[in-house]
Amino acid sequence: MIELRPFAGLGTFKNEWLNAHYHFSFSHYRHPERMGFGALLVWNDDEIAPHTGFGPHPHKDMEIITFVRQGAITHRDSLGNEGATRAGDVQVMHAGSGITHAEVNQEAEVTRLFQIWIQPDEKGVQPGWSARAFPRAAGQGLQVLASGDAAAQAAGALALHADAAVLAARLQPGERAHYTLAPGRAAYLVPATGEIEVNGIIVQARDGVALAGESEIRIEAMAAAEIVLVEVRA
């Protein structure tokens, strides 16, 4: 099963500081056929105006991954963690037994990011936050950014309390990437920029592609592109 979800058809929210597009049901947006995808519950495409952002608010029992595409987002939480995650960087917050945080764009430019929520395998884990830079270049293929797999974590991926993985790649025109899906696994893929072909389907920047029951994901860049892929239990 492959389903293309064009950017123009996503859920939306806009106010004076936030321009958001929702790949799945979120907040006021409800779509009966988009109530998550396996353990993947949220994929928000957010644009946050300079010197604005989300004030302190609580979370519980969720793995929250932020992929910054432009600008930076500054995180502060009730555990005392604070740091700016910049374009090219990734942060993971384990909401676990409970955490309160704020996310603010302190920069002079718009911040653009993907925020991804994955259901953890276990409730009530120790909350936490971590971030790191992931330099990416064409020719490197898909790079694991965050994972529940110990071997991937040992290789540098941020840890997840979930049987899931978040990957990204930068591709030049004509460059290809492949990803294998085991039985019982599903993937959701979004090109942050560019145009790609996924298993024969043309996908534009910020479109979503849901894949399940596919043993292989074949990706080819039709133009210079950056892609983000999340693999979860189906």
Phi, psi of 9 (to 5 degrees): -100, 5
- Using alpha carbons, list the distances in angstroms from residue 78 to 9, 59, 68, 106, 123: 36, 11, 22, 19, 19
Q: What is the mean pLDDT of residues 41-58?
A: 98
Q: Measured in whole angstroms, how far is the alpha carbon of residue 212 from the centre of its chain?
A: 18
Read off the amino acid at residue 159. A
**This prediction's pTM:** 0.96
Query: Looking at the predicted structure, is the pLDDT value of residue 135 above 90?
Result: no
Task: State the pLDDT at residue 137.
Answer: 77
Handedness of CA 203, 34, 187, 98 (dihedral sign): positive
Residue 14 has which token pair? 């806009």
Count: domains in the chain: 1
Residue 164 has which token pair? 């899931």
Residue 117 has which token pair? 């929520």
Q: What SS3 class is residue 220?
A: strand
The CATH number of residue 163's host domain is 2.60.120.10
Find the domain containing 184 and state its range: 2-233
Structure confidence at residue 230 as a pLDDT band (50, 70, 90): very high
* Dist. CA 170–CA 137, nearest whole Å: 6
Task: State the pLDDT at residue 89.
Answer: 93
Phi, psi of 8 (to 5 degrees): -65, -20
The fraction of the chain above a pLDDT of 70, given in percent, is 100
The overall average pLDDT reported for the chain is 96
Task: State the pLDDT at residue 53.
Answer: 98
The fraction of the chain above a pLDDT of 90, given in percent, is 94
Task: State the pLDDT at residue 140.
Answer: 86
DSSP designation for 157: P
Residues 6+ apart with CB under 8 A from 9: none
Query: Looking at the predicted structure, is the pLDDT value of residue 158 above 90?
Result: yes
Structure confidence at residue 138 as a pLDDT band (50, 70, 90): confident
**Span of 23-32, 181-190, 202-211 with lowest mean pLDDT:** 23-32
Structure confidence at residue 32 as a pLDDT band (50, 70, 90): confident
- Among residues 148, 124, 123, which one has the least CA distance to residue 231? 148
Task: State the pLDDT at residue 133.
Answer: 92
Q: Which residues pair with 177 in a beta bridge?
A: 219
